[in-house]
């Protein structure tokens, strides 16, 4: 997810402009004259929305806060159950708990995303939200998930933090459920350092999120801020102008990032395909996935370990699988389960996910790779797979 690879003079200049053209006004709101009426966070939201058929977007402080804001604005509360998947980033679980609700964590399938069959079985009268996560760029099976959700009249929040720029059956990830959230942290497709974005086909839901992000402010332009009205409550999850200054430049790089990811992944995957028999690829739900990662699995965890060690010798790292499973697989979220009294048997829970993930290896795909990099990788992969 390589927005950071492309940070250059343009982002630097955009940040300097906050000082040179807007007298250093860092708030997203107010100080209209002093800032020369330039509102970068609002402009960033509009520019981001252009990538999503002009749907309304709400900027906030992080992908984690975006999850929480979206859930609060959908009315998630104590006593509710929220279904999500075992392979995710821990933020998904944290946001559910922060609402006072109970996370119900189900297995993934060979897409490495939520298993729609397990979803149906996990629904109870308390289920109030379903949160599929498009892990490492591959969209979840949204048709099947939406069918189950509609049958039970339960809304869907897409965690698209790792899939900005992907699409599924012609529709952008983020607009496939009732609401979608993105992370703009430093590891993501485009970055603002820290940051998040919320998008929805339901404009009134995004409007509520915008209010929640800013203490409930209606932001009535005819009123001074101190006299502003409020129709919803909130907190402070506002993005700063400095972040939006970077985001305004990065969003223009998104199409290039996605194009290069897809090009490089195709080349690397064709190389890896030579070792079919030794490895199997993750099932991709749509060729217009984000394509910033390749996941494959081996027959046994021991073989996967060996491949990781051999890759390391060749100077090739992995991405999240297996190097950051501690934060991405619910089996390892002991700090959550122990403190919340949930899943007392978490060490042996989620067997199907565990079987798959323990045999899996994930390789990053970078935007700035050149022919030399790709040739070196081809040679290295050859060495690795000849040795197993
Ligand atoms: C799937 C997923 N959800 C949520 C988040 C949280 O985003 P942030 O780091 O912006 O809080 C991340 C970030 O790694 C993520 O990968």
Domains contained in the chain, CATH given: 3-253 (3.40.640.10), 255-386 (3.90.1150.10)
Ligand 1 atom 5, closest CA: 63
Ligand 1 atom, smallest distance to 194 CA? 10
pTM for the model stands at 0.97
- Tokens representing 285 are 């739900």
- If one residue of 91, 136, 179, 187 were mutated to test the ligand 1 pocket, choosing by the most ligand atoms within 8 A of its CB, it would be 91
Tens digit of pLDDT at every position of the chain (388 positions): 678 999 999 999 999 999 999 999 999 999 999 999 999 999 999 999 999 998 999 999 999 999 999 999 999 999 999 999 999 999 999 999 999 999 999 999 999 999 999 999 999 999 999 999 999 999 999 999 999 999 999 999 999 999 999 999 999 999 999 999 999 999 999 999 999 999 999 999 999 999 999 999 999 999 999 999 999 999 999 999 999 999 999 999 999 999 999 999 999 999 999 999 999 999 999 999 999 999 999 999 999 999 999 999 999 999 999 999 999 999 999 999 999 999 999 999 999 999 999 999 999 999 999 999 999 999 999 999 999 9
Distance 183 CA to ligand 1 centre (A): 5
Distance 309 CA to ligand 1 centre (A): 27
CA of 315 to the centre of ligand 1 (A): 27
pLDDT at 381: 97
How many residues are listed for the chain in this entry?
388
pLDDT at 103: 98
Give ligand 1 pocket residues (Cβ under 6 A): 62-64, 88-89, 91-92, 133, 159, 161-162, 183, 185, 196
CA–centroid distance, 91 to ligand 1, in Å, is 6
**Ligand 1 pocket test, candidate residues 4, 63, 159, most atoms within 8 A of CB:** 63
Closest approach atom of ligand 1 to CA 185: 10
């Amino acid at each position: 997810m390589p927005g950071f690879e492309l940070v250059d003079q343009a982002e630097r200049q955009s940040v300097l402009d906050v000082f040179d053209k807007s007298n250093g006004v860092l708030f997203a709101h107010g100080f209209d004259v002093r800032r020369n009426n330039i509102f970068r966070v609002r402009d960033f939201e509009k520019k981001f929305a252009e990538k999503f058929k002009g749907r309304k977007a709400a900027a906030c402080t992080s992908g984690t806060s975006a999850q929480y804001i979206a859930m609060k604005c959908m009315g998630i509360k104590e006593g509710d159950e929220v279904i999500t998947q075992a392979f995710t980033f821990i933020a998904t679980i944290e946001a559910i708990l922060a609402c006072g609700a109970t996370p119900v964590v189900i297995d993934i399938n060979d897409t490495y995303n939520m298993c729609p069959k397990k979803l149906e079985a996990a629904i109870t009268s308390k289920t109030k939200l379903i949160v599929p996560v498009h892990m490492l760029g591959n969209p979840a099976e949204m048709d099947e998930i939406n069918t189950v959700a509609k049958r039970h009249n339960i809304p869907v929040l897409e965690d698209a933090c790792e899939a900005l720029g992907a699409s599924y059956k012609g529709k952008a990830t983020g607009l496939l459920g009732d609401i979608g959230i993105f992370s703009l942290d430093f590891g993501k497709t485009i970055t603002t350092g820290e940051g998040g974005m919320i998008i929805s086909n339901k404009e009134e839901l995004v409007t509520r999120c915008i209010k929640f992000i800013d203490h409930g402010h209606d932001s009535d332009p005819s009123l001074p801020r101190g006299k502003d009205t409020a129709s919803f409550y909130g907190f402070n999850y506002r993005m700063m102008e400095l972040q939006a200054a970077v985001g305004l430049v990065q969003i223009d790089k998104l199409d290039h990032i996605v194009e290069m990811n897809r090009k490089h992944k195709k080349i690397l995957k064709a190389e890896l395909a030579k070792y079919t028999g030794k490895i199997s690829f993750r099932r991709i739900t749509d060729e217009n996935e984000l394509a910033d990662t390749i996941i494959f699995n081996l027959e046994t965890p021991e073989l996967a370990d060996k491949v990781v060690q051999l890759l390391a010798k060749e100077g090739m790292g992995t991405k999240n699988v297996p190097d950051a499973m501690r934060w991405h697989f619910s089996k390892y979220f002991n700090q959550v389960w122990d403190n919340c009294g949930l899943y007392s048997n978490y060490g042996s829970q989620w067997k199907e996910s565990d079987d798959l993930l323990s045999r899996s290896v994930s390789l990053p795909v970078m935007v700035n790779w050149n022919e030399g990099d790709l040739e070196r990788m081809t040679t290295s992969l050859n060495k690795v797979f000849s040795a197993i």
